[in-house]
Amino acid sequence: MSEQLPLSIQDVVAGYVPGMPILRGVSVELRANEIVTVLGPNGAGKSTMIKAIVGLVPIQSGKVFLQGKDITGRKTHLLVREGLAYVPQTGNVFVRLSVQENLELGGFAAEKLPPDRLDQIFTLFPDLARFRKLAAGKLSGGQRQMVAVGRALMAGPQVLMLDEPSAGLSPKMTEILFAKLIEIRSQGIGILMVEQNAKAALAISDRGYVLAEGQQRFAGAASDLLTSPEVGALYLGAHTRLAS
């Protein structure tokens, strides 16, 4: 089963200190052509899950499969070559480097970099083409997030993981960024993101999971999660409103 899945996390127990797991048996699947969102309040273990997948947090038990291949504990830089790219929650651009230099750095991680890859990124993000010479630190939060996503795409991934891409962005900017994620999915790239912005994230997702205290509370179609009173209740305690 897991052989065909772009990404599969099976019963993962992981944490920063041995014997003190933060993730306590988490299973998440990303199927072909999906955007999947993992929701959860602050401290739920969302970033820890992403970091465990990319080898930045030790996995104590459980498995991670990328296109059916066991990648449990594999180092981040090797995973980029295997087709898994990751946009961290914070510090995801080099502020002193230009937009283009930031993107080119992402290209170094690629095994084979097609000559038109940079142009493809500029086609997807025309703003970045306009500001290509500008230091990334001079951009707005939304534009910086586009640089971070663009850099991850430079490596030509099959799976893109994003840690709270809408953090700090206005609703309008979030809408623009999320429309780009839909475009990226249409290019055959699967997306797994963690978010606190439940409503906006589920609106573009195929399926969702809810994580709390390192365990899965809900899983289902994004539309079901959006209308679930239990999910809403969990979120009202976490400063997130599903219904407007």
Chain residues binding Mg ion by CB under 5 A are 46-47, 89
H/E element, 150:
helix 141-154
d(CA 225, CA 155): 32
Interaction of residue 21 with ligand ATP, rule CB under 6 A: no
Say which amino acid occupies 190.
G
What is the nearest approach in angstroms of ligand ATP to the Cβ of residue 40? 5
Out of 6, 21, 45, 83, point to the residue binding ligand ATP (CB under 6 A).
Answer: 45
Q: Taking CB within 5 to 8 Å according to partner kind, which of Mg ion, ligand ATP, none is near residue 44?
A: ligand ATP
Interaction of residue 44 with ligand ATP, rule CB under 6 A: yes
Cβ burial, residue 12 (10 Å; 0-12/13-18/19+):
buried
What is the nearest approach in angstroms of ligand ATP to the Cβ of residue 90? 9
Q: Is 116 strand, coil or helix?
A: coil
Name 221's bridge partners. Answer: 207
- Segment interacting with ligand ATP, rule: CB under 6 A, options 40-48, 93-101, 136-144, 216-224: 40-48
The tokens for 105 are 């750095």
Strands (E) located in 89-231: 159-163, 190-195, 207-212, 215-221
What is the nearest approach in angstroms of ligand ATP to the Cβ of residue 46? 3
Q: Which of 181, 186, 167, 185 is nearest to 47 (CA)?
A: 167
Out of 5, 14, 21, 40, point to the residue binding ligand ATP (CB under 6 A).
Answer: 40
d(CA 108, CA 126): 22
Out of 8, 37, 48, 100, point to the residue binding ligand ATP (CB under 6 A).
Answer: 48
Cβ distance to ligand ATP smaller for residue 26 or 226: 26
Interaction of residue 100 with ligand ATP, rule CB under 6 A: no
Applying CB under 6 A, the residues found at the interface with ligand ATP are 16, 22, 40, 42-48, 89, 196
